[in-house]
Structure 1
Amino acid sequence: MRDIAIADWTKLGATLKAERTRLGLSQHELSARAGVSRSWLAKLEAGHRGAEFEQILRLLEALGISLILRSDAPAPGGDASAITAAASLDAGAMQRLMDERQRSAEIRRRAWSADELDPTRSDHG
């Protein structure tokens, strides 16, 4: 599915209905997959407001659609290529940070497991 800008409830409902139809699903089939009622789905497709975000996320997942939030406003003082390059660098730095956090968490889990197995190491007095 191509990127689609959703500006209001009507556009959201029409987009979801079009994707459901493209996949050959009935409202009943999709609502069962997403764990929502068929009447709720019908209202959402018709553009009614006030749907709970959790239900919308389940519906998107059932349709195989990803939700991506993107700013249309340019960053102050930067051009698009510089922003893209910075984002790529930030993604690498973020991955390294996540890897380090994961290693730290594993070390703590091992230490906690060792404490549970060795009662002489307990801090509970």
Structure 2
Amino acid sequence: MDITNKKILVCDDSVLARKQLLDAVKEIAEGGTFIEGKNGIDAVELYKSEKPDLVFLDIVMPEKDGTTALAEIKEFDSEAVIIIVSSVGTQDQLKKAIQLGAKDFIQKPFEKNQIREIIELRLGGK
């Protein structure tokens, strides 16, 4: 699917998890700009500087966790489209993320069709 002129931010402290998600996104969506962050501080700074159309955000990260980063991004831009991607997501963390404005949640390990559905739904690609 073509997502030319769209930006996607992938933020995860695990290099492997970040690479797997980016590889899946790039396989599904072509023409976009892909941005990587390694912690919640990166997520907030990169969101403010790059203003991505879609954010995939881990919850458990060093320096600033995903729910804190989510809250700060939503405070900066209430329309931000943030998808939580986490293996550790307890019910409480997931509930908090949704309350803070996360649009969806993907459990690791994820399936490529989950990523495809999110991109189609959130970016309108086909």
Taking structure 1 as the reference length, the TM-score comes to 0.27
Larger RCO, structures 1/2 (Cα 8 Å, 6+ apart): 2
